[in-house]
Structure 1
Amino acid sequence: MCTIPPVPPPPPPPILEESKSPKKSASDQEAPVRHLDVCQWASDHQLWEACAKYRVCLDKEPFRYKYKHFESKIQVGPTCGLVALSMLFNDEITPDKLLNIAKTEGYTNNGEMFSCKNMMKLTEKILYLAEISNVKYNLKNSGLCSKEIIEKLLEGAVLLVPYDADFNHSPCLKKGHTAHWALVCGVIICEDPRDTYEDPDNVYVLCKHGKSRYLAVWKLDDLDKSNKNLIEFSPKRGGEEWIYILPEGGVGGANGLKDQFLIYEGF
C-alpha cells in the first residue's frame, strides 16, 4: 500500500537584518560625551570635545591657548577653500555666492582653489562687497611654524592653510594629490616654550574644514610639512569629467599652494 509522506514543515521566516546607519569618516565620529574628568580648563564645549578626542592637555591647563569659534559648514563638491573662507566670514557671504564670484573672476570652474594668490584676491573682493574695513590680511610664504605666526595666533589671528588631507582629513604628505583647505582658528602651547617654539610636540593648532562638523587638533609641525609638500596636481584627477583651473606654474609654483598660506587679523 502506497503511503503519502507527511508535508514538510514550512521554512523558517527570513532573518531581517538590522538597519545600519551610514558609516562616518574617521574625523567625523561622534565627539566624546562630557562626563570624564579631563580637559577641565576648556570652557568652550567644542574645544573640550576636540582636546578630549585628540588627547591634548588632558590633565592640566596648557601654558597658553587661544580659540575663536566659527560655525562649521560641510562642502559640496571641491569647494573646500570657498567653504573655509565662508566660515571665516560667518556666512555673511555664502559658499554659493563665493563660488559665483570665483567663477566670474576666472579663479575656478567647480569650486577648486589651487592658488593662494587668487584666494587673496577673492578675499579683497569679499571684504569690499561686505563693506568690512577693519580686517588686515596677508599672503605668507613659509614660516607657518615661526614665532611670529604662533604669537599672531595667540593674539587672535586666523589662518587659511592649504595642505594634503589624509583619509581622516588630518595633514599628510601626498605631494598635493589630496589638496584641501583648513581654517586655523586657534592654537595650544602645551608647555612653557621658553621663548622658542622648536619642539614640534609642544604646539597644536585648532582647525575647521569642509569635510567635518567637528573641531580638529593637529600638530602645527605636521600642518607645516604638509603645506610645504604641495608640489603637483593629482594625476588621478586628469581623467575626471570636471575641468580644473590650475595657476601658471602649477600647484607647486609661485602662483600655486606650496609653502603659502593666508593670515587674517581683526575678525
Structure 2
Amino acid sequence: MWPASALSSIDAFSRGHCLLHAANDMIQPAQAPPPPPPPTPPPPIFASLPSQVSKFSSTTRAKKLSPYELQQSASKNAKSFDEQVAEACQMLKPVLELDGNLLQPRTHHYVYCSSRHAHGLLQDGPQCGLVALTMAMTALNPSGIISTLTILDKARSKGVTKHGEMFSAQALADLANDFCTLAKAKEETIAMVDSSDILNNPVELMNFFIADEKSLLLVPYDSDFNQHPCVKEGKRAHWAILLGFVLTASADKETESIDCQQINENVSLLNNGAVNANFWAKSESSELKVLARQGKSLRLFLFDPRTLWTSNYNLKAWEPTQEDERHYVLPDGGISEGLKGKLVKLMLKARNK
C-alpha cells in the first residue's frame, strides 16, 4: 500500500493538473462555428414545369404543321361573318375620327356584301393571287369549291406561274374563266378592266356591286405591314378580293328608314334593292369604304377605294434579280405592264336579266 504521505502528494498533483487544464480552457479563444454548407445549384429551367410542357416544346419545334393543318386550326378560331363585319367597322372608328369628316354624335355603318360565301383563306407562300381567285370561285359557286392547289396546277401547266406568284391581271382573269363552271341558269362575266373606271368613281363602284346577283373584284395593290394599301412602287405587290362596300353616315330619319338587317346598334347589312348609289353619293356626310379579304389574314378589311387605286396605280418599279427570274414568272414589261392600273372583274347574273 502507498504511504499516506505519498497518497497525499499524488492527490495534490492530480488536483493541480485538473486546475491547469481548466485554466487553459478558460484562456483559449472560443472556436468559430463551422461555415454553412454551400447552396444547392438551381434546378433546370423546366424542372418546376409539368413534364408534358417540355415534351410539347420539343415536339412543336420538331413538327411543322402542313398548310392544311394551319388552315383548319385558323378556321376553327375564325369569327362569324356578322362578327367580322362588326369588328371591321369598329376598327374603322378611329380612322374616321382622325379624318374629321364624321363628327356627328350618331353615326351608323351600312354594309352591302355581294356574297358571304367568300370565307377567309390563308396563303402558303407567294400565292396571294391564286388564293384571292379561290375565294372568288367559292363566293360565285359555293357548291363547287375549288382548291388553291388545283388552280396552282392549272396555272403551272399554262406557264403563268412557278410557285403561285401572279404578276399578270390578264393571266388571273384567264384562270378564272378556266374554272368558272357555274349553273346553266346563270351567266358570268370575267374580264380584266382599268381600275380607275371603278375605284375612282363612288357611284360606279356601288352600282357595280348591286347591279348583278354576285359581283366581285380582284385587285392587285402594294400591301403594307398591316395588309392595308400603301405606296412602295410595287415592292410589296399583293392581291385582294373586294366583296362589297360600307357606307358610314349620320343616323337620321332618311337613313333609319332604309331596308336593312341590324347586326348591332352601329352596324346594319343592307338588303338587296335597298341601295341607291345616287342617294348615298349626294350625302355629304357619308364615307365609302370597300369590304376586302386577302390571303394573310382571315378577318375582313375596310379599304378606302381611292387609296386602293393609288396603291394599284403605283405598281411599276419592282425589278427582278437574276435569282427572281429563275423562280418567278413575269409578263413582258414586268409588273408595270401586268398589274399597274388593272383589276379583274367577276360578275354572276341571271340570264333573264
Q: TM-score range by the shorter chain?
A: 0.7 to 0.9
Shift of 1:167: 0.5
The structure-2 alpha-carbon separation of the partners of 1:44 and 1:4, relative to structure 1 and needing over 3 Å to count, comes to: closer
Shift of 1:100: 0.2
Mapping of 1:151-170 within 5 angstroms? Answer: 151-155=207-211, 156-170=214-228
1:179 paired with 2:237, answer: yes
Shift of 1:234: 5.0
Shift of 1:202: 1.9
The structure 1 residue matched to 2:304, chosen from 219, 225, 235, is 219
Aligned to 2:335: 251
The structure 2 residue matched to 1:83, chosen from 102, 126, 131, is 131
The structure 2 residue matched to 1:9, chosen from 20, 32, 39, is 39
Shift of 1:139: 1.4
1:264 paired with 2:302, answer: no
1:95 paired with 2:148, answer: yes
Mapping of 1:228-247 within 5 angstroms? Answer: 228-233=313-318, 235=320, 239=323, 243-247=327-331
Question: Which sections of structure 2, spanning at least 5 residues, go unmatched?
Answer: 1-30, 58-73, 98-105, 139-143, 251-277
Amino acid at match of 2:129: G
Q: 1: distance between equivalents of 2:193 and 2:158? A: 22
Once the two structures are superposed, residues 124-167 of structure 1 have per-residue CA deviations (whole angstroms, 9 ceiling, x without a partner) of 11115x67752222211132222323321244521000000001
Q: Check whether the contact 1:140–1:262 (CA below 8 A) recurs between aligned residues.
A: yes
Root-mean-square deviation (Å):
3.7
Q: 1: distance between equivalents of 2:193 and 2:282? A: 19
1:61 paired with 2:108, answer: yes
TM-score relative to the length of structure 2: 0.60
Q: Check whether the contact 2:222–2:312 (CA below 8 A) recurs between aligned residues.
A: yes
Aligned to 2:193: 140
- Name whichever structure is richer in helix by fraction: 2
Aligned to 1:49: 87
State the SS of the aligned residue for 1:124: helix
Number of equivalenced pairs: 246
**Segment drifting more, 210-219 vs 135-144:** 135-144
Aligned to 2:295: 210
Q: 2: distance between equivalents of 1:217 and 1:265? A: 21
Aligned to 1:119: 172
Shift of 1:258: 0.3
State the SS of the aligned residue for 2:165: coil
TM-score relative to the length of structure 1: 0.78
Q: 2: distance between equivalents of 1:118 and 1:265? A: 17
The structure-2 alpha-carbon separation of the partners of 1:191 and 1:161, relative to structure 1 and needing over 3 Å to count, comes to: same
Identity %: 32
Question: Which sections of structure 1, spanning at least 5 residues, go unmatched?
Answer: 21-27, 35-42
State the SS of the aligned residue for 1:252: helix
1:71 paired with 2:101, answer: no
Shift of 1:112: 0.5
Q: Check whether the contact 2:217–2:242 (CA below 8 A) recurs between aligned residues.
A: yes
The structure-2 alpha-carbon separation of the partners of 1:213 and 1:136, relative to structure 1 and needing over 3 Å to count, comes to: same
Q: 1: distance between equivalents of 2:336 and 2:111? A: 32
State the SS of the aligned residue for 2:328: coil
Shift of 1:113: 0.5
Shift of 1:45: 2.2
Q: 1: distance between equivalents of 2:34 and 2:280? A: 96
Q: 1: distance between equivalents of 2:157 and 2:332? A: 18
State the SS of the aligned residue for 1:150: helix
Q: 2: distance between equivalents of 1:112 and 1:9? A: 61
Q: 2: distance between equivalents of 1:119 and 1:177? A: 20
Once the two structures are superposed, residues 206-237 of structure 1 have per-residue CA deviations (whole angstroms, 9 ceiling, x without a partner) of 111110010111111111110111003255x6
Larger radius of gyration: 2
State the SS of the aligned residue for 2:219: strand
